[in-house]
Amino acid sequence: MTTSASTARRSGRGLTYVVLGWAVAYGGVRLTWTIGVAPEFRQFGSDLLGFTGWWSVALCVAAGAVAVVLDRVPAWWPALAGVAWTVAGALVAAAAVLLPELVGFLLFTVGPYFEPIAFASRLGCVTGAILLALATARYQRRTRGDCAACCRTVSPGTRRSAPARWARWAAYAAVAGLVTRFAAQVVVGFDGLTHDASVIGLEIGLLLAGVLLPLALVHRWGEIWPGWVPLLAGRTIPRLVLLVPGFGLGAGIVAYFGMGMVQLSSGSVSQFSDAFLWVALSSYCLLGLGLVTASSDYHLRTRSACTTCGR
């Protein structure tokens, strides 16, 4: 085994221990709350959605077990990677309420029902999802022959300078999803809408990011500040300015409103008709998926050449 491969192997094992440490710590909290006395959560009755009680404990155990298997298996198993990504996705979905809370912080509209313990618990849950996702990505690099530094498998010289057609369609689909959502609201009217500040902040954030962000991901002015931006015109836009909200908001939207669709299909009661809710929730999910897809192309298109593999 080469020195670089040995170093990468040790780094990967360290990440496995971190995931295990998280599973023990956060899983211990979930176990304590399950068999003992859990805090009272006023807004939803629980800090997590879907995965509560013993299900939340099982999710932590699954994350730790999958991390160990990822470290031990020497070959590429698509099914194993699929299980790992599923567990990571379940952790994000369980903490889906974190999305409106974070948007509320950004817009200074945190509502009166904000609960610090629930917020901290959701952050802990998402932290586990991120750690497991990193472990899964490292497994894929190690077993598929990808570059350990950048995950690239393509040949040199294939980097694109223009957005892919599928990325443009994804961006336009995201905008269409937002437009459809608000059009549906116009049809049913605005009476009876909640006035919770965090939810209002989420709506404002979606309105701002649901049009500007997806279009920026597939147009030149998403890479170079346009002329109408004071002091920054003509300068290169840092990639993270678009990638962080693109991936973060997109994944959060899919998790939050995807869980809403699960609750709707299970017969949850709402003041709105099922038809309206299916349209609204589906539109939001389309927006989130479009953002994640367009962000993926933006990442591939704007990344610099890797100093390790030269690709």
Residues 254-266: pLDDT tens digits? Answer: 998 998 888 888 8
Please indicate whether residue 160 or residue 297 has the higher confidence score (pLDDT): 297
At how many degrees (to 10) do helices 274-302 and 239-265 cross?
150
Rounded to two decimals, what is the model's pTM? Answer: 0.77
Average pLDDT of the residues in 226-253 = 88
pLDDT tier at 131, thresholds 50, 70, 90: very high
Handedness of CA 177, 165, 214, 248 (dihedral sign): positive
Q: Choose the most confident range, by mean pLDDT, from 64-68, 190-194, 246-250.
A: 64-68
* DSSP per-residue codes, 231-259: TTTTSBPPHHHHHHHHHHHHHHHHHHHHH
Output the average pLDDT for the chain: 83
pLDDT of amino acid 99: 83
Please indicate whether residue 101 or residue 246 has the higher confidence score (pLDDT): 246
Residues 6+ apart with CB under 8 A from 7: none
Q: Choose the most confident range, by mean pLDDT, from 112-126, 211-225, 282-296.
A: 282-296
Instruction: Compute the C-alpha angle 133/136/137, nearest 5°.
Output: 85
